[in-house]
Amino acid sequence: MKSTIQRVLVAVAVATVGAGAVALASAQTTAATASSSAPGAGRHHGHRHFGGGRFVGTLLRATKQLNLTADQQSTIKSLVKSAHTHRAGAQVEGADETVTGNPGDPGFASAVQSAQTNAAARVQKESALAGQIYGVLTTAQKNQLPTVLASLKAQDQARRGAWAAKHSNTNS
């Protein structure tokens, strides 16, 4: 069972890196918006909380339904806090919009490579943390996890469907 989870984590990691590359490519092809003269204006650095990523965020949401013991909750909380502390020290400032928004800029290729390296490192760290959190779960909780995740997925799809239905009526 452990090897199956590891294979799934690797597959999701590869898909996430690919999605990040697609997002980066699409962001690079859209017209650059006017930005303020303040450094970093328009950026959202620091608004992304560790644990909100694809791996850890979903798993943390699921653990709320797994009846964790106080000891398990404490262990998971310290794992996330420790990972957050390590991540905060390694925070990298994003590339300048004048470089990333202009494929003709001499620094463009370097900025793309840097973004890809940072994304791969982030996926690796988040998937490793997800594995550590998974290791805290009991066998019964691990067996219950797929059902809880399916339930969360159904709730998310219902919420998105309701949002789409509400907003499609206003645009008609």
Mean pLDDT of the chain: 74
Domain ranges of the chain: 2-21+50-162
- Nearest to residue 51, comparing CAs of 154, 140, 132, 114? 132
DSSP letters for 60-74: HHHHTTTT--HHHHH
Residue 126, CA distances (Å) to 14, 32, 73 in order: 13, 30, 18
Instruction: Please state, for a pLDDT cut of 90, what percent of the chain lies above it.
Output: 35
**First-to-last C-alpha distance (Å) of the chain:** 49
Rounded to the nearest 5°, which phi and psi values hold at 97?
-60, -25
**Could you report the per-residue pLDDT of 114-171, keeping only the tens digit for each?**
888 988 988 999 999 999 999 999 999 999 999 999 999 999 999 999 999 988 876 5
pLDDT score at 4: 56
**Could you report the per-residue pLDDT of 16-72, keeping only the tens digit for each?**
545 444 444 444 433 333 333 344 444 444 434 444 577 788 899 999 999 999 999
Instruction: Please state, for a pLDDT cut of 70, what percent of the chain lies above it.
Output: 62
Q: How far apart are CA 4 and CA 26, in angstroms?
A: 33
Q: How far apart are CA 4 and CA 91, in angstroms?
A: 32
Q: How far apart are CA 95 and CA 99, in angstroms?
A: 7
